[in-house]
Amino acid sequence: AQSVTQLDSQVPVFEEAPVELRCNYSSSVSVYLFWYVQYPNQGLQLLLKYLSGSTLVKGINGFEAEFNKSQTSFHLRKPSVHISDTAEYFCAVTNTGGFKTIFGAGTRLFVKA
């Protein structure tokens, strides 16, 4: 069985400051990892994914994430946030060769002027 824990339910940050949204996962098998973004009353949009290879993956909108196998983490980062980054962010995991994806509970990012 797999599980995903997003360690912060809400993260307030000032505009142009860096941000890190934390995600830990648990799985007994190899996994693929994903980050999605959801704007109010919208569906989710894929930000980035880790499948294999380089542990640092870059996504859309200037976001990046680092896979750490020993710490079973996949934290999302952005060096300088904008007001428009205000949204909810979901970490997700799927076991390789599997079919179902498990989502974390989400982290609300508030970017303040």
Partner 1 sequence: DGGITQSPKYLFRKEGQNVTLSCEQNLNHDAMYWYRQDPGQGLRLIYYSQIVNDFQKGDIAEGYSVSREKKESFPLTVTSAQKNPTAFYLCASTPNGGSNYGYTFGSGTRLTVV
Which spans of this chain sit near partner 1 (rule: CB under 8 A)? 4, 9, 32, 34, 36, 41-46, 49, 51, 90, 94-101, 103-106
Nearer to partner 1, 15 or 98 (CB): 98
Question: What is the C-alpha separation between 105 and 41, in angstroms, rounded?
Answer: 16
Question: What is the C-alpha separation between 88 and 103, in angstroms, rounded?
Answer: 13
Q: Minimal distance in Å, beta carbon 111 to partner 1?
A: 20
Residues 6+ apart with CB under 8 A from 34: 46, 47, 48, 49, 50, 91, 92, 93, 94, 101
Nearer to partner 1, 19 or 104 (CB): 104
Q: Minimal distance in Å, beta carbon 106 to partner 1?
A: 6
Nearer to partner 1, 17 or 51 (CB): 51
In the three-class reduction of DSSP (H, G, I as helix; E, B as strand; rest coil), residue 99 is classed as coil
Q: Minimal distance in Å, beta carbon 17 to partner 1?
A: 25
